[in-house]
Amino acid sequence: MLTLLLHYRTEWSYYFTETNPTKYNSQTYTSRPTLSGSNVYISNCLFISITSTSDGGALYLYNSVTNFLVESTSFFTCKTTGGSWGGAIYFRNSGDGQSVLHEVCAYDCCSNLHCLFARIEVSDTASSKNYFNYSSISRCVSTISNSNYPLCLYYGKVCCPSVNISMNKCYYRSGIYCYSFYDSNLVTCSITYSSFTDNIAIGYTCILLSRPGANFEIKSCNILRNTQPIGNGEGIIYTDTNLMIEDSCILENKGTYIFRQYSSSYTITLSNCTVDLTSNNGYLTTKNTVTKSFILALNHMSTR
């Protein structure tokens, strides 16, 4: 018998102003529940060994929920065999939706094609939260042709502080996909104090950050030992935006390029990073980059 030990916190009022959300607290689910209410709060729950034949193996929310918070909750072996999106979570509300996944653990989740763990799509505005905080995704594996992305974050302000996305494997983009709100004056996607390690792309790319003309950042992160096949023209970090990478450790990755900028109009900038390779397709600027070996000491929640 698996015992889930997680602490209980009340985070709803920290993220959302709406009161009296529909709460799902301290439950174990072995089949996909039907959720009600326009504001949904899931806390201290375990979703385990759930298989669905449609999108969202464990949770499916399409235009029915405005504010969505999952905290201190684990998803183990949640899968969709018939749907194409979201092995564990499918949340989509591009009208007025917001989503926060806080202290979430995903292990061995898989979709039939896209977003092995979760597809999250919120309103395309700067004020819409699309957060993945203090969380871990590990050993989500699919060898299906064109399978992709452990995590897909669409629109809104994307924030990923202190996350661990490691040991995942799929056909392409085996780390993360972020497509945030566009604002040329703001950083609309921020990944900080996080680790991307030992992810394998059978076809191409580990990290994809996209929204032409937007400003993205990676700060104080470890990007280590990720692989994609040599010679296919893509790389470990692939973007079509202005991307600033600061104070990060990028070592022992294997790919055609480590840094690939799709658009000649934008630049990837490395500042005060530790790297062993700077292979790129011609749109990389480096500042104060050193090449000795060190790894940032980052603390993440356990994956099991």
- Amino acid making up residue 93: N
Around Cβ 223, how many Cβ atoms within 10 Å?
A: 27
The SS3 assignment for 188 reads: strand
Predicted pLDDT of residue 39: 98
| Alpha carbon distances (Å) from 224 to 127, 254, 267 | 32, 9, 22
> How far is 89 from 169, CA to CA, in rounded Å?
18
Predicted pLDDT of residue 84: 93
Q: How is 228-248 classified by DSSP, letter by letter?
A: --TTSS-EEEEESSEEEEES-
Going residue by residue through the chain, which has 304 residues, state the pLDDT in tens, using 9 for 90 and above.
344 444 445 589 999 999 999 999 999 999 999 999 999 999 999 999 999 999 999 999 999 999 999 999 999 999 999 889 999 999 999 999 999 999 999 999 999 999 999 999 999 999 999 999 999 999 999 999 999 999 999 999 999 999 999 999 999 999 999 999 999 999 999 999 999 999 999 998 999 999 998 999 999 999 999 999 887 768 899 999 999 999 999 999 999 999 999 999 999 999 999 999 999 999 999 988 776 666 566 554 444 4
The reported pTM is 0.92
Q: Is 213 left (phi over 0), alpha (psi -120 to 50) or beta?
A: left
